[in-house]
Amino acid sequence: MWRSMIWGMPSHICRFATQAALDVLPTHANLCRWRAPVGAACVCGVRDTLMHALNGCELKLPRFKWRHDSVLIQIAQHLSSKGHLVHADLPGFSRPLPAFLTHQPLRPDIVLISGTKIDLLELTVPFEQNFSDAHLRKTRKYTHLLGLAKEHGLIPHLYCFEVGSRGLSSESWSVFCKKFDLGDLKKKGLLTALRCSYVIWTTRFLPWEDPPP
């Protein structure tokens, strides 16, 4: 998948993807390793590895949310174009939810309702080595909603899937794309995550204003 993605990719994104995959970008941790006269810590105080820069830094949470929502809106638009009724906290997709979900403090990213069927979709954009942890954490977070949905006479399914911040696919992303017949979106979602990570990386020393997806 990754190899097929780099065809047609702009050269700067391709270079970033390769350097990120090999972990040879000039993070403070790498600069230290290369004996540059800098400390290994990020301004937040934590060791500035690539995983920290792309996924971990507490000071960059709005940037990570922007990347997550950039992928999410593509999924919502695609599902909507296929005739699904999409409920999501995104512009154009905020429809009323079933009563049992309205008062839940934690709700998955997208809810699809068709008759008595309800699909709960949750996207995470983690660093690839955290795919399993992210999957387990999100599954645990929303499993209780399945019981609640059943109590309300619905037939629920929970899909938690991960798109890697360096543009790599998880097994759960492949399964989800196949299940919902998402075609090109499988590659597009990965590319969007990668492009957003490029922006997050190149603006890491700059103040943040959400750029367009």
Q: Return the number of the residue (45 or 147) whose C-beta is nearest Zn ion.
A: 45
**Closer residue to Zn ion (CB): 43 or 175:** 43
What is the 8-class DSSP label of residue 96? P
Q: Is 15 left (phi over 0), alpha (psi -120 to 50) or beta?
A: alpha
| Smallest distance, Zn ion to C-beta of residue 106, A | 26
User: For Zn ion, which is the closer residue by CB, 42 or 111?
Assistant: 42
Give the CA angle between residues 170, 171, 177 to the nearest 5°: 90
Q: What is the C-alpha to C-alpha distance for residues 38 and 205, in angstroms, rounded to an integer?
A: 15
> How far is the C-alpha of 4 from the C-alpha of 186, rounded, in Å?
12
CB of residue 39 vs Zn ion: minimum separation in angstroms? 12
- Shortest CB 12 distance to Zn ion, Å: 24
Q: Please report how close the Cβ of residue 51 comes to Zn ion at its closest, in angstroms.
A: 11
* Helix, strand, or coil (residue 93): coil
φ/ψ of residue 146, rounded to 5 = -65, -45
What is the DSSP annotation of 50-62? HHIIIII-GGGHH
Tell me the C-alpha distance between 106 and 112, whole Å: 16
CB of 32 to Zn ion, least distance (A): 15
Q: Please enumerate in sequence order all residues whose Cβ is within 8 A of that of 37, keeping only pairs 6 or more positions apart, or say none.
A: none
Q: Are strands 155-162 and 117-124 parallel, antiparallel or unpaired?
A: parallel
Q: For Zn ion, give the closer residue by CB, 44 or 136.
A: 44
Q: Which is nearer to Zn ion, 28 or 78 (CB)?
A: 28
Closest CA to 164 of 4, 10, 69, 54: 54
Rounded least distance, CB 57 to Zn ion, Å: 3
List of residues contacting Zn ion (CB under 5 A): 42, 44, 57
49 vs 172, beta carbon nearer Zn ion: 49
